């Protein structure tokens, strides 16, 4: 069953990849789970604590990220330092820094935790398909328009799947996928990222949204070259839709940066258009939701071939649950057919 959205849409928004430490696990002074060559070995709880501090460089934020009390977190890191025989952190009254040894071992710690996560993921996939947690990352310019279809599909076809949704910008989603914080992404492609497999879903056109009195409002067959002279409103830095819009402008022969006003989300952007500040580009899936909120807007359509974007699922290459994700992609393609998109085959 689906759970509430767990991420945020702002730049840099990122949930911790480190999981939670339950009350029954080894904490600050607990002896590690095993021995090798007569030496104590660190526990996963200690490694998670150190990784959290290395990520946040702040004990309170690190403790909150993994659900551990601050004293327990500090004790776990101290215990890890004792086991490893090195100083991992440089502590002052004002800040926390990684020592040279801490910088080196933080990378290895992150890799160990990632492998443990992969082990748990593979074991879960072996037990039964479409059960357990699935952490889905979605970009903000897709989430409001496709999630109703995704959630309905999961509810009806995969009732035992615990879908957890995180709305973040592309860079944060890719980071989450590579470190194991997220399992699957729904976003615009191509990504061109090694180690990530794309499962294409559909292509959709962009349309031009204008104020009522604009000379292109409501027209069809608009040439792309018209974008050369328009006052185009765009999303803030970090949104892939902003980059796509700028690419479209460059393809139309506009070499300058046409940015005068920006917004954090498409809803604000459309309201700026309604207020007469300029025009903007919207993907077709967003038009119904965003333009019905105002009677001061018109939608124009480009001549063929219209500017487009491609939406896909993305997973780690070789993911243990890869066959499940491919099946989910195929089910999504069918569920998305009623939308104003061109559904793609798996080999697109």
Query: So what's the pLDDT on residue 9?
Result: 37
Give the helix/strand (H/E) hosting 89: strand 89-91
How much is the pLDDT for 240?
75
What pLDDT was estimated at residue 38?
64
90: Cβ contacts below 8 Å, ≥ 6 apart: 96, 97, 98, 99, 102
CA dist 218 and 249 (Å) reads 20
pLDDT of 36 reads 46
User: Strand, helix or coil at 325?
Assistant: helix
CA 50, distance to chain mean position in Å, is: 24
Place 7 in a pLDDT band, splitting at 50, 70 and 90.
Answer: very low
Indicate whether 17 pLDDT > 50: no
CA distance 315 to 84: 35
Rounded mean pLDDT, 299-316: 94
Q: Which residues contact 147 (CB under 8 A, 6 or more apart)?
A: 138, 165
pLDDT of residue 3: 45
Look at residue 222 and tell me whether its pLDDT is greater than 50: yes
What is the tens place of the pLDDT at every residue in 64-113? 999 999 999 999 999 999 999 999 999 877 788 999 999 999 999 999 99
DSSP for 41-90?
---HHHHHHHHHHHHHS-HHHHHHHHT--HHHHHHHHHHHHHHHTS--EE
pLDDT of amino acid 238: 63
The phi, psi pair for 342, rounded to 5°, reads: -110, 100
Contacts of 15 (CB under 8 A, 6+ apart): 6, 7, 65, 166, 176, 181
What global pTM score does this model have?
0.67
Dist CA 212 CA 287 (whole Å): 15
What's residue 308's pLDDT? 92
Distance CA 269, CA 241 (A): 12
Residues 166 and 143: their CA atoms lie apart, in Å, by: 9
pLDDT higher than 70, residue 41: yes
Res. 174 pLDDT band, cuts 50 70 90: very high
φ and ψ at residue 74, rounded to 5 degrees: -60, -40
Residue 26 pLDDT level (bands cut at 50, 70, 90): very low
Choose the weakest-confidence range: 166-175, 178-187, 257-266.
257-266
H helix or E strand, kind and range, residue 330: helix 322-335
Q: With a cut of 70, say whether residue 15 has pLDDT above it.
A: no
Beta strands in the chain (DSSP E): 35-36, 39-40, 89-91, 96-98, 132-138, 161-167, 184-189, 196-211, 234-235, 262-263, 280-283, 297-301, 308-316, 342-343
Q: Among 161-165, 207-211, 241-245, 279-283, whose mean pLDDT is lowest?
A: 241-245
**What mean pLDDT is reported for the chain?**
84
Whether the pLDDT of residue 235 is over 70: the answer is yes
C-alpha–C-alpha distance, residues 284 and 300, integer Å: 11
> 45-67 in b/e burial notation, b at 16+ Cβ within 10 A?
bbbbbbbbbbbbeebeebbbbbb
Query: Among residues 107, 69, 119, 130, which one has the least CA distance to residue 331?
Result: 130
Rounded Cα distance between 248 and 105, Å, is 44
The C-alpha angle 93, 98, 99, rounded to 5 degrees, equals: 105
Beta carbons within 10 angstroms of residue 309's beta carbon = 23
Mean pLDDT of 151-166: 95
- Identify the pLDDT of residue 24: 37
pLDDT digits (tens, 9 = 90+) for 240-264: 777 777 777 777 767 665 566 778 7
Q: Is the confidence at residue 11, as pLDDT, over 50?
A: no
Which residue from 179, 180, 198, 181 is spatially nearest to 189, judged by alpha carbons? 198
């Amino acid at each position: 069953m689906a759970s509430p959205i767990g991420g945020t849409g702002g730049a840099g928004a990122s949930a911790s990849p480190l999981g939670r430490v339950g009350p029954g696990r080894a904490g600050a002074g607990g002896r590690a789970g095993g021995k090798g060559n007569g030496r104590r070995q660190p526990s996963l709880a200690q490694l998670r604590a150190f990784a959290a501090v290395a990520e946040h460089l702040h004990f309170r934020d690190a403790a909150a990220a993994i659900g551990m009390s601050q004293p327990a977190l500090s004790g776990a890191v101290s215990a890890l330092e004792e086991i490893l025989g090195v100083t991992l952190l440089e502590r002052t009254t004002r800040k926390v820094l990684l020592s040279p040894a801490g910088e080196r071992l933080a990378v290895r710690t992150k890799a160990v935790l990632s492998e443990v996560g992969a082990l748990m993921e593979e074991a879960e996939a072996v037990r039964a398909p479409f059960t357990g947690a699935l952490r889905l990352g979605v970009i903000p310019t897709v989430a409001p328009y496709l999630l109703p279809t995704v959630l309905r599909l999961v509810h009806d076809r995969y009732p035992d799947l615990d879908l957890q949704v995180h709305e973040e910008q592309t860079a944060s989603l890719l980071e989450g996928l590579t470190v194991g914080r997220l399992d699957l992404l729904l976003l615009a492609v191509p990504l061109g990222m090694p180690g990530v497999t794309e499962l294409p879903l559909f292509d959709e056109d962009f349309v031009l949204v204008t104020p009522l009195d604009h000379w292109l409002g409501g027209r069809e067959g608009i040439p792309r070259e018209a974008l050369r002279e328009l006052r185009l409103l765009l999303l803030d830095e970090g949104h892939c839709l902003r980059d796509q819009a700028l690419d479209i402008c460059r393809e139309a022969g506009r070499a300058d940066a046409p940015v005068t006003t920006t917004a954090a989300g498409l809803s604000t952007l459309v309201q700026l258009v309604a207020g007469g500040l300029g025009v903007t580009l919207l993907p077709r899936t967003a038009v119904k939701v965003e333009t019905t909120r105002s009677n001061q807007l018109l939608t124009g359509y480009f001549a063929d071939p219209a500017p487009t974007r491609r939406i896909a699922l993305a997973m780690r290459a070789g993911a243990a649950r890869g066959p499940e994700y491919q099946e989910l992609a195929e089910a999504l393609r069918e569920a998305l057919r009623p939308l104003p998109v061109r559904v793609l085959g798996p080999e697109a």
